[in-house]
Structure 1
Amino acid sequence: MSGEESPPERRRSLVAYSGKRERARCGYCRSSRGKVSSGMWAHSMTVQDYQDLIDRGWRRSGKYVYKPVMNETCCPQYTIRCRALNFHPSKSHKKVLKKVVKFLTKGEISKKDDEVEPMDSHLEDTDGCSFLSKDEPNASQDELAPLYTDHKEQVESEEEGRKGEITVDSRHMESCNEKANTNSSKPLESAKVGHAVPKPGKGADLNKPPCRKAKDIRRELKLQRNLQNQAQAPTLEAEILLGQNSKPKTNQPKSIEDFIFASLPSEAVHQLEVRLVPASLEDPQFKSSFTQSATLFAKYQMAIHKDTPAECNEHQFTRFLCDSPLEAENPSNGPDCGYGSFHQQYWLDGRIIAVGVIDILPKCVSSVYLYYDPVYSFLSLGVYSALREIAFTRKLHEKASDLSYYYMGFYIHSCPKMRYKGRYRPSDLLCPETYVWVPIEQCLSSLEQSKYCRFNQDLKADDEEKLKELGRVRVLHKRTVMPYSVYKRRRKGQNDEESVQQYAALVGQTCSERMLLFRS
């Protein structure tokens, strides 16, 4: 056997490591040479491998999987997850949910957008997510069939404002009256004190009650309301007589499900339907809605990100948001929809107004991207879709008990507009050195002091998946799977140990032994 193995029948991830990419443009701080990351092309990937990779700080854009070099990049990007089962919506979150319900029920349109969170809340590098073309590894179509892809791929990419309440300030009114009297062309005659009878049309009307200050009126109205409430409140004796029949007052806060899944009245103005479809042109429902979805993507990109038509055509849409390395899986102990990449389409009155691209993995729902019709910006669809995805995570948990987290991508504390993700609580940040999860509340003080932080306070703790045996890394060479130690003996003239070691350290020992690293 000479240490060789035949390609196993079970699914394997196949990747080609493309190395470290330095001096790239950053969409957060606008630095033209500050972004540093490592990446690899995933020709195929199991959902378990991708779950393990994002738990080590990786993230995908299309079929390109990348990991920021945290201690070198200008804006460190920390993986953030929300503990969906314990999530409680904030006041601003509920405000968005109520706004959508009012629009669906009555057609009410908010005149001002109270929501301060970015609408494109699911996108890293929101204003400059660089879809840069890179060459794939040199490989023949026969060698990677049927996993071969194009030579070029796209790359990585509360308070409510006060309403116009008019208050009366008596001092301001008196000041205005004085100015009016001063500037009038005909000065008013000074009234004689005492017995003088005012001329018709001049002075105060004695038949009307005297003017009162606005604050006195408000104070009196408040007193009347309090007296009315006291009169309507049941007496102590009445409470005792009611006894067991009286229902105790409950003030339990509403959950997101109470808003999202509440039945709309029959006379509702609009109907909203959210459809989950696999991100695959082989799926009939996805294929039938492809043109409409791609058109909406182009409309969003040109309006929000100022893309040119060529930068957001159907080809770009396909390789950025439709192509996925994840192999669909449907185990018996998984959710009914299975695992893989999906589009959640928001259909309003029969047409798509928003699409949330998500990955459903063994432990989480991972948000990939959101695009929407800018006409409906007033609905704060970025926030609304995130809340729906949290509710969806909870629903999936009922069938798949391990699936209980909602991954929101990266948290960038050095970029103030990206801090909103920390408001979806309780949430955790991933320690960039030991890859353990730490509650975000424990991380914020450190991030205020330094962009790059180790969150694990145990200084003796280390990465449990750190590379231990380079020779055990699995490689694919000439359609044969073998350990790297065997490959190295066969390729004595090739010195790629540094690259392989860098790859294995980034993916961890377990993934490096389970995934296949393509070598030409």
Structure 2
Amino acid sequence: MASVVEYKGPREGYRCGYCDAPEGKVSSGMWAHSMTVQDYQDLIDRGWRRSGKYVYKPVMNQTCCPQYTIRCRPLHFQPSKSHKKVLKKMFKFLSKGEFSKGNNEEEPMDSQMDDAGMHDFALKSKLDIKSDQRPLSEDCHEFKESKVKEKEDLEPKETKMLNQSHAKQEKLGSGEPSSSVKVVPSTPKPGKGADLSKPPCRKAKDIRKERKRQKLILKSQTDQVQHEEKPKLNQPKSIEDFIFDTLPDKSAHQLEVRLVPVSFEDPEFKSSFCQSLSLYAKYQMAIHKDTAAECGEAEFTRFLCSSPLEAENPPNGPDCGYGSFHQQYWLDGKIIAVGVIDVLPYCVSSVYLYYDPDYAFLSLGVYSALREIAFTRELHEKTSQLSYYYMGFYIHSCPKMRYKGQYRPSDLLCPETYVWVPIEQCLPALENSKYCRFNQDTKAVDEERIKELDRLRVLYKRTIMPYNIYKKRQKGPSDEAIVQQYADLVGQTCSERMLLFRS
């Protein structure tokens, strides 16, 4: 089955949702009547993105806020401190029902110090110090008294030991056998002297030295074991360790994540449609200030339920197959969030997320992204080539959209040569200019640039034909300029595979 697209051309002079410029946004678009997952994979690797069945590509060197395609590499992903904080918050809420609505951080991804524990420690220290404070004169007086008492206790013991020593010498001098010498140990009176049944007291300095020595011995033994067996010691916890940590038997809440194909023929999708629609409307009105008319059933269906992607279930693909899905988050029997995603040959592509604003304290935007990264890793185990997580667009010129760059390691797509470049290499250039070519090789070009326009495929009057045949049958003015523009944007491979509808 082939993709069928209808190119709409460039669209410019409309309001930008990122910088609010009234006429700053510029993009090219096409309506996808149907599309294979491989064609869409190749298109997003050239900077395209879909909204329902409409597929668009920003004109990067003209639009007010250049939108760079960003992808994360989940196989090497390690959650940051702020990511762990969100995952722990969710676990705490599910296990104990505890949460704090007053400290909701939905999108900021910068690592932040959690000073709650530090505050408790400081408070405890002050209380301890206060309770231990006493007048110095009292301490000195107690010290002197103890020294005097110690001296009194020791004097008779030392005298007795000295007398026993003299007696021993006398016995030895008289020629009697040493076995006849009987030394009777002195037993201190009750409440006085050292308790011989307990180990002698040790100085704190000696204890520290002993601990250090034990640590060095343990370290040398550990190093030897690592050298011989190389076990995985001190490995950081993976994202799965946090997400799938075992909840207690009597946990306060139950969370279930269901993957549902976007299809009205699917019974699970159909049965949950009304609840999902209601949640979408609640989210749009609360978060994006839409009116009820702007987030009704027609808009919801067009935007998040209509997909051009044809579902595919090849034998070597993931168990869920390829296509468009809703990842539903069910908390105690009701949907609190829905992540709209596309599963493609090389990636999981995030489309949209909507959630119940009443649960914003759980940072569901961050949590769902981490779940989708974990989901990508899970799919990779069955389908090795599926190893990326596409997060949509990274917009450096819009500070609130920079949070996507905190999911590391990640790459940005060069808008001229369509090669992936690590984001760390791109950021210095983006600080100086909104639009950047990331590929440092000045001789590099778009490998998919159009070399033979005549090989482009056209669907004309229900007949599939190459462009050179279509030109001969075409009536009216030539449309070669618009066809050339389309071909340059989709690349040689897609132009030969997809069908360009011409009326």
Give 1:165 shift: 3.6
Partner secondary structure for residue 18 of structure 1: strand
Alignment of 1:11-26 (within 5 A): 11-26=1-16
SS at match of 1:476: strand
Q: Aligned equivalents of 2:10 and 2:52: distance in 1?
A: 18
Aligned position for 2:428: 445
396 and 228 in structure 1: CA distance in 2 versus 1, 3 angstrom threshold: farther
User: What does 1:51-66 align with in structure 2 at a 5 Å threshold?
Assistant: 51-66=41-56
**SS class of match (1:414):** coil
Deviation at 1:470, TM superposition (A): 1.4
Which of 18, 43, 49 is residue 33 of structure 2 equivalent to?
43
* Residue 459 (structure 1) aligned to one of 436, 439, 442: 442
1:351 aligns with 2:338: no
Amino acid at match of 2:431: E
Are the counterparts in 1 of residues 105 and 361 from structure 2 also a CA contact under 8 Å?
no
Q: 1:263 aligns with which of 246, 253, 258?
A: 246
More off after superposition, 265-274 vs 231-240: 231-240
Partners of 1:352 and 1:463 in 2: how far apart?
44
Cα contact 2:104–2:362 (8 A) shared by 1: no
- Correspondent of 1:339 among 317, 322, 329: 322
1:430 corresponds to 2:413: yes
* 1:159 aligned partner: 112
1:311 aligns with 2:264: no
The 3 A distance-change label for structure 1 pair 241 and 252 is: closer
Q: Structure 1: 5+ residue runs without aligned partners?
A: 1-10, 120-157, 169-207, 212-225
Check conservation: 1:118, 1:382, Cα contact below 8 A: no
Letter in 1 for 2:48: W
Matches of 2:43 and 2:412, distance apart in 1? 15
Number of the residue aligned with 1:509: 492
What is aligned with 1:396? Answer: 379
Deviation at residue 58 of structure 1 after TM alignment: 0.0
Q: Which runs of 5+ in 2 are unaligned?
A: 124-132, 137-203, 227-231
Change (3 A) 1:318 1:232: farther
| Cα distance in structure 2, aligned partners of 1:34 and 1:228 | 73
Alignment TM-score, normalising by the size of structure 2:
0.79
Distance 1:98 1:233 in 2: 33
Cα separation, 1, equivalents of 2:32 and 2:73: 28
- Structure 1 or 2, whichever has the larger Rg, is 2
Aligned-partner Cα distance in 2 for 1:414–1:67: 18
Match of 2:75 in 1: 85
Which deviations, in whole Å up to 9, do the C-alpha atoms of 1:56-94 show, x marking residues without a partner? 000000000000000000000000000110111101000
CA–CA distance in 1 between the matches of 2:278 and 2:444? 49
| Change in CA separation of 1:332 and 1:210 when aligned onto 2, cut-off 3 Å | same
Distance 1:228 1:266 in 2: 46
Deviations 1:412-440 (A, max 9, x none): 00001111111100000000000000000
Specify the alignment match of 1:302 in structure 2. 285
Matching residue of 2:396:
413
C-alpha contact 1:366 1:409 (8 A) present in aligned 2: yes
Query: TM-score, normalized by length of structure 1?
Result: 0.76
Task: Determine which structure has the larger helix proportion and give its number.
Answer: 2
Distance 1:375 1:334 in 2: 37
Q: Count matched residues.
A: 419
Q: Secondary structure at the match of 2:26?
A: strand
Q: Does the residue aligned with 1:398 lie in a helix, a strand or coil?
A: helix
C-alpha distance in 2 between matches for 1:246 and 1:442 = 39
Query: By how many angstroms is 1:27 displaced?
Result: 0.7
Classify 1:468/1:246 alpha carbon distance in 2 versus 1 (closer, same or farther; 3 Å): closer
Residue 382 of structure 2 aligns to a residue in which SS?
coil
Alignment check: 8 A CA contact 1:92 1:115 kept: no
SS of equivalent to 2:83? helix
Offset at residue 494 of structure 1 (A): 2.9
Q: Summarize deviations over 1:419-473 as a string: whole Å, max 9, x none.
A: 1111100000000000000000000000001000000000000000001111111
- Give the Cα–Cα distance (whole angstroms) in 2 for the partners of residues 385 and 228 of structure 1: 52
Instruction: Name the counterpart of 1:236.
Output: 214
Identity of aligned residues (%): 74
Residues 275 and 229 (structure 1), Cα distance of their counterparts in 2 relative to 1, 3 Å cut: farther
